[in-house]
């Protein structure tokens, strides 16, 4: 039980309310997209229809790379980066470091997309910024992740904004905790007989159960957003006189003395086989610095082994193939700071225990989204006698129900554009078109009818998604089961269940409207 003087309690109520109201809609968008992004990797597999589960880096690739190197201009053979694409091919980026128009060092070269059997699928010139533009099969998952991470705003502004939203969420969580006079009682109190009181209790119960999750998400999310957008430039300015190269060298380790003598290098297949055995996980990327030189250096990144929180990065001598050691994410040797840093990702994305932890994070994210949306209504309920606040109520309804509708339509647009390869354009276009369509009822209908209509429309789109996926060339369930790719039927099932839930929400809201309560009755003032 937490007891505070009356004046402090009023102050906390104001902080809690205004922290949520000022940035509540954006915070709601970040939470909803983050809830979906928990399954980003599964969404990439589901949307691409990839039946191959084995990493193509587990197959022989050395001969193919040497052949491609001979077909790549010499000025772009300094380094090569290998990554596994969503369609389970290999992206081989041969590149050199050059200065762009702004005078910043960037990577420029040629990217090849290669099938596991060594067949070249495509070749194009690229820079680091657009090297993954060919991965059209993974656009849907990437779109949701980018919407969550930076709201599709340019860097660093998107990261700064989501960092501020993380701090706002942290402020709301702390003030909400301190406001609870009977925290443990609030975990189980649902007085459903009186609608107004019962629905307020539902907001309180959901908020109470999600408080630890909210703390974790707010802190880790703010850390990730501010670390790259503000932390790195500030640290470079304060500790290294603005020299970012010196900062990177301190973090990742000093480079060895250059040795530009030509060398054939070690067989990469042998290095990848050793890395697979040492890591115990699936190989996801590899990088060869100074390709074809005596000072070549190879790093291989793997996914987590069974029971591990994260993957590992292994370093090898590129000339001899000798194992150098496991490289920490921060620094050159194991440390407490590196351990804490490596915990941030699993805690934020909920991937520390496979499907089980992701399912829990998804459920808690869903509850947090409800808390944020209903909390906006609770704040609005006290002020809905003013025209400006009533207009804000329409915006709340449009955002709360229109965002899931727009995300569902963007998925449908992705599948329809997949055969033509135009997914990078149509996925965001579908989202924006759906958002504009959702705005129409918010402008012309009473606010209490907007959410039921949009939830019903979202349910229709979600129920149609598995059909659209298969009609667009995606594999059926039998083919997926035969390939042991259970993600595809599992997500089809979850999408259909999500559509049914949307229909239930729409029907419930319509019933309340018919009884005279309206959608606004679900949002009653806190006491």
Rounded CA-CA distance 27/399 in Å is 11
Same domain, 36 and 179: yes
- Tens-place pLDDT, residues 371-383: 888 878 777 776 6
Q: Name the strand (E) or helix (H) holding 98.
A: strand 90-99
Whether residue 473 is found in the same domain as residue 370: yes
Token pair of 120 as six digits: 């070249």
One domain, residues 313 and 374: no
What are the residues whose beta carbons fall under 8 Å from the beta carbon of 353, sequence distance 6 or more? none
Report yes or no on 146 lying in a domain.
Answer: no
Task: Write down the residue that tokens 């990078």 correspond to.
Answer: 424
- 163 located within any domain: yes
The Cβ of residue 139 has, within 10 Å, a number of other Cβ atoms equal to 27
In-domain check, residue 143: no
- Paired sense of beta strands 120-127 and 105-114, if any: antiparallel
Minimal CA–CA distance to 86: which of 30, 157, 12, 143? 143
| Domain stops at, among 330, 364, 380 | 330
Identify whether residues 70 and 188 lie together within a single domain.
no
Q: Which of 300, 330, 360 is the last residue of a domain?
A: 330
Helix axes 139-150, 40-48, angle to 10 degrees: 150
Cα separation, 173 vs 217, in Å, equals 11
User: Residue 251 domain-assigned?
Assistant: no
Structure tokens at 306: 């069974």
**For residue 79, what pLDDT is reported?**
94
Q: How many residues does the chain have?
A: 527
Residues 77 and 166 both lie in one domain: no
What average pLDDT values come out for the chain (527 residues) when binned by 10 residues? 58 59 81 93 92 89 93 92 92 88 80 91 87 82 93 87 85 70 57 52 72 86 83 69 65 69 89 94 93 91 81 91 88 77 86 84 90 78 68 87 96 95 94 96 87 94 97 94 93 96 86 55 40
* Judgement on whether residues 489 and 376 belong to the same structural domain of the protein: yes
Tokens 């954006």 correspond to 26
46 and 83, same domain (yes or no): no
Residues 291, 383: one domain?
Answer: no
Is residue 423 within 8 A of residue 417, CB to CB? The reply is: yes
Two tokens, residue 38: 């928990």
Q: Which domain holds residue 27?
A: 6-50+152-224+348-522
CA angle, 392 then 395 then 398, to 5°: 155
pTM of the shown model = 0.84
Query: Do residues 303 and 354 make contact, with C-beta atoms less than 8 angstroms apart?
Result: no
Instruction: Report the domain count for the chain.
Output: 2
* φ, ψ of residue 305 in degrees (nearest 5): -75, 170
In a domain? residue 13: yes
- Report if residue 267 sits inside a domain: yes
pLDDT of residue 476: 94
Residue 236 maps to a domain: no
Q: Quote the CA–CA distance of 176 and 164 in Å, as a whole number.
A: 18
282 and 425 fall within a common domain? no
Structure tokens at 323: 């194992």
Please indicate, yes or no, whether residues 216 and 324 belong to a single structural domain of this protein: no
144 assigned to some structural domain: no
159 and 201 in one domain?
yes
Check: CB of residue 431 under 8 Å from CB of residue 410: yes
76/107 same-domain check:
yes
């Amino acid at each position: 039980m937490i007891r505070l003087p009356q004046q402090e309690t009023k102050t906390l109520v104001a902080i809690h309310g205004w922290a949520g109201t000022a940035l509540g809609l954006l915070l709601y968008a970040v939470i909803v997209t983050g809830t979906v992004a928990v399954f980003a990797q599964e969404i990439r597999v589901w949307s691409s229809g990839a039946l191959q589960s084995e990493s193509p880096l587990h197959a022989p690739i050395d001969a193919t790379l040497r052949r491609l190197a001979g077909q790549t201009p010499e000025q772009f053979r300094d380094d090569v980066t290998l990554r596994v694409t969503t369609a389970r091919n290999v992206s081989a980026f041969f590149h050199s470091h050059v200065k762009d128009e702004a005078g910043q060092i960037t990577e420029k070269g040629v990217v090849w997309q290669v099938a596991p059997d060594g067949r070249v699928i495509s070749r194009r010139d690229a820079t680091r910024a657009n090297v993954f533009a060919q991965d059209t099969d993974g656009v849907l998952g990437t779109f949701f992740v980018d919407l969550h991470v930076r709201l599709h705003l340019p860097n660093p502004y998107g990261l700064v904004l989501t960092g501020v939203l993380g701090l706002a969420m942290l402020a709301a969580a702390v003030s909400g905790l301190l406001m609870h006079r009977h925290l443990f009682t609030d975990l189980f109190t649902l007085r459903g007989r009186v609608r107004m009181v019962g629905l307020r209790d539902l907001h309180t119960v959901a908020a109470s159960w999600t408080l630890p999750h909210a703390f974790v998400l707010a802190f880790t999310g703010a850390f990730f957003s501010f670390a790259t957008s503000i932390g790195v430039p500030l640290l470079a300015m304060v500790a290294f006189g603005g020299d970012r190269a010196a900062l990177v060298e301190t973090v990742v380790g000093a480079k060895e003395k250059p040795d530009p003598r030509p060398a054939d290098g070690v067989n990469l297949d042998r290095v990848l086989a050793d890395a697979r055995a040492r890591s115990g996980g699936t190989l996801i990327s590899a990088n060869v610095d100074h390709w074809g030189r005596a000072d070549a250096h190879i790093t291989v990144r793997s996914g987590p082994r069974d029971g591990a929180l994260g993957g590992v990065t292994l370093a090898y001598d590129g000339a001899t193939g000798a194992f150098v050691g496991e490289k920490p994410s921060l620094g050159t040797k194991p440390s407490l700071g590196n351990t804490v840093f490596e915990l941030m990702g699993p805690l934020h994305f909920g991937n520390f225990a496979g499907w089980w932890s992701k399912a829990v994070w998804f459920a808690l994210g869903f509850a947090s989204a409800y808390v944020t949306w209903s909390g906006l209504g609770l704040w609005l309920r006290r002020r809905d006698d003013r025209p400006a606040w009533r207009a804000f109520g329409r915006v709340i309804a449009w955002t709360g129900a229109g965002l899931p509708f727009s995300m569902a339509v963007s998925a449908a647009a992705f599948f329809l554009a997949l055969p033509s390869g135009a997914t990078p354009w149509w996925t965001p276009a579908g989202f924006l078109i759906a958002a504009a369509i959702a705005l129409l009822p918010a402008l012309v209908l009473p606010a209490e009818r907007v959410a039921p209509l949009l939830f019903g429309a979202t349910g229709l789109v979600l129920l149609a998604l598995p059909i659209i996926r298969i009609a667009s060339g995606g594999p059926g369930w039998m083919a997926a089961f035969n390939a042991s790719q259970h993600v595809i039927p599992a997500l089809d099932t979850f999408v259909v269940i999500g559509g049914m839930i949307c229909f239930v929400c729409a029907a419930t809201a319509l019933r309340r409207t018919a009884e005279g309560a309206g959608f606004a009755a679900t949002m009653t003032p806190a006491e």
